[in-house]
Structure 1
């Protein structure tokens, strides 16, 4: 644990002029040799030609080829079991009025574990006359309804910025109980809590069998931690994955940020992350001109927003076609590099296990 003087030094690193050059780091290029002929989709005699399962298998193959690091998780590319589950997912969400072409894109969810990091700060409860709490409840139900089709046990983990008790394997049937148990208090230390509650237990210390998609849902700007901690923690995670043991490549993680409500601080945070020149390959944000409140309201935007939330950080084409009327982005890339290997987050105590 850093001393007070070390902590003060860290703060200076994040903002003071004249800092020494940062230690060299691996470039986040994602450059892995292109697939060879042997990487072509493998023949599976159990899958009928032209079937929904075959279409999903093709979708999964195309997707893994677009992210070469994923080959470490799925080396044979037969996708035994994944294609069948993906076909069921596509069929079920079409029944829920998802447009057919959009539904096919959701097939790639079967390849990912999903974790949620939820803002349970006091403003979620006190602002907008409680509307943000209701929006969160509706969002959790919609996310769980779709994702349990990709993973039968449901959302792998739901964790909170302030609450220490996480919940694992959250299905739609469990959402009411999970939501009712949230106690809104504290600050919005997204960078610190992302490291302690998501990256450390599910990336650094876990034997990963699937890549991890993390959704971060917040209603306000970051409070209670030094500037740049969020970017630094994501950056350090990516560089360590790039140079670490397989299958933990840099394609093992993806991050989706979204805001509840209309807080201008949250808007600024979303825009700065969405335009980050070094990490936009791994980070996506729900555009500020799309509203998370449209989920579950019966509008045509319901599936548009869910598509962005689930797939925007995974599929470059979806991210590429965003139309965001953003203000001038905050350039934090230099700050991230200066913070690397110098700023260690002060532990907040041991986290309780998910229940």
Structure 2
């Protein structure tokens, strides 16, 4: 009798189980003791398997795609610095990079999230916030935001944004160094008090910078290397978001934007785009297609295009 191979859903559930018992044990309390057979986990694994197949069609390697399925266990919160200078510097290229980045994030996360949208998107320089944002809504919400003064990362913003388990993606430039670290340290102490030594794993912070401000680069490096908080933080190399728009580099950079603060292997990863252009192409050409589906994901049923 031939051996039966595990289904994509079983492979993904096993991956999640291994992570919750190992590297991500700090968030295990938010999930059933036994993942296999749990109805909610089964539903999430089906959607995650669909996501894995779709993004592999667009060039993502099999192992990376399975790792990205971890997003099904998290809420993604976007906190975006839409400082007015982004609209005028570099002939508006920075604001275009911001919009393309948001579309890429939404395109991937919508495939795995239970509601199919990023839950909240908040802007530092506007009192407006948006919920259930898909890729086709990005241009509209960026246009609506203004340059109103808004308290940066104060408790009212962070307290409502950081769901558990959750991860926060921030595009920042020139934030006060003491403020960011202060807020994140207070959150880590709160979670450690509630859930024990690994409680702070319930929140992960991924930073990515648009532009080349030297103070912002220094700020991000100091946060990434912080002895107390560094394990919950990852910072993208300067210029990553511009490189991510290039098809040959996307799947070397976009996964780090999602997973750098979640998995050690991606925290330590330097995108190949910053090492060798030829190596980047070799990785993409060597992708595994065993979990790909025949479904074309240029446009999903709800009409939202994918911006891969």
For the criterion TM > 0.5, the same-fold answer is: yes
Q: What is the alpha-carbon distance in structure 2 between the residues aligned to residue 131 and residue 69 of structure 1?
A: 40
Partner of 2:203: 253
For residue 190 of structure 2, the aligned residue among 229, 233, 240 is 240
Aligned length in residues: 262
1:152-167 alignment, distance < 5 Å? 152-167=115-130
More helix by share: 2
Partner of 2:26: 69
For residue 143 of structure 1, the aligned residue among 105, 109, 113 is 105
For residue 170 of structure 2, the aligned residue among 204, 216, 222 is 216
TM-score (norm 1): 0.69
**Contact preservation (8 Å) 2:153, 2:179:** no
In the TM superposition, residue 49 of structure 1 has moved relative to its aligned partner by 4.6
For residue 318 of structure 1, the aligned residue among 249, 266, 277 is 266
For residue 128 of structure 1, the aligned residue among 80, 85, 90 is 90
In the TM superposition, residue 153 of structure 1 has moved relative to its aligned partner by 3.1
Q: What is the alpha-carbon distance in structure 2 between the residues aligned to residue 194 and residue 136 of structure 1?
A: 23
Alpha carbons of structure 1 residues 165 and 185: separation in structure 2 relative to 1, 3 Å: closer
Alpha carbons of structure 1 residues 158 and 94: separation in structure 2 relative to 1, 3 Å: same
CA deviations 1:63-109 (Å, max 9, x no partner) are 21222121111133312322112111111111222122221211101
Q: What is the DSSP-based 3-state SS (H/G/I as helix, E as strand, rest coil) of the residue aligned with 1:77?
A: coil
CA deviations 1:144-185 (Å, max 9, x no partner) are 000001113311110011201100111123222222222245
Partner of 1:308: 256
**Contact preservation (8 Å) 2:79, 2:123:** yes
In the alignment, structure 1 residue 297 sits paired with structure 2 residue 277: no
Q: What is the alpha-carbon distance in structure 1 between the residues aligned to residue 50 and residue 201 of structure 2?
A: 26
Alpha carbons of structure 1 residues 77 and 280: separation in structure 2 relative to 1, 3 Å: farther
Q: What is the DSSP-based 3-state SS (H/G/I as helix, E as strand, rest coil) of the residue aligned with 1:216?
A: strand
Q: Which of structures 1 and 2 has the bigger CA Rg?
A: 1
1:50-89 alignment, distance < 5 Å? 50-65=6-21, 66-78=23-35, 79-89=41-51
Partner of 2:160: 201
* C-alpha RMSD of the superposition: 2.3
In the TM superposition, residue 186 of structure 1 has moved relative to its aligned partner by 4.8
In the TM superposition, residue 271 of structure 1 has moved relative to its aligned partner by 1.1
**Contact preservation (8 Å) 1:63, 1:108:** no
Partner of 1:268: 218
Q: What is the alpha-carbon distance in structure 1 between the residues aligned to residue 168 and residue 211 of structure 2?
A: 20
In the TM superposition, residue 294 of structure 1 has moved relative to its aligned partner by 1.7
Q: What is the alpha-carbon distance in structure 2 between the residues aligned to residue 150 and residue 323 of structure 1?
A: 23
**Contact preservation (8 Å) 2:252, 2:271:** no
Q: What is the alpha-carbon distance in structure 1 between the residues aligned to residue 210 and residue 65 of structure 2?
A: 25
Partner of 1:21: none
The unaligned stretches of length 5 or more in structure 2 are: 36-40, 275-308
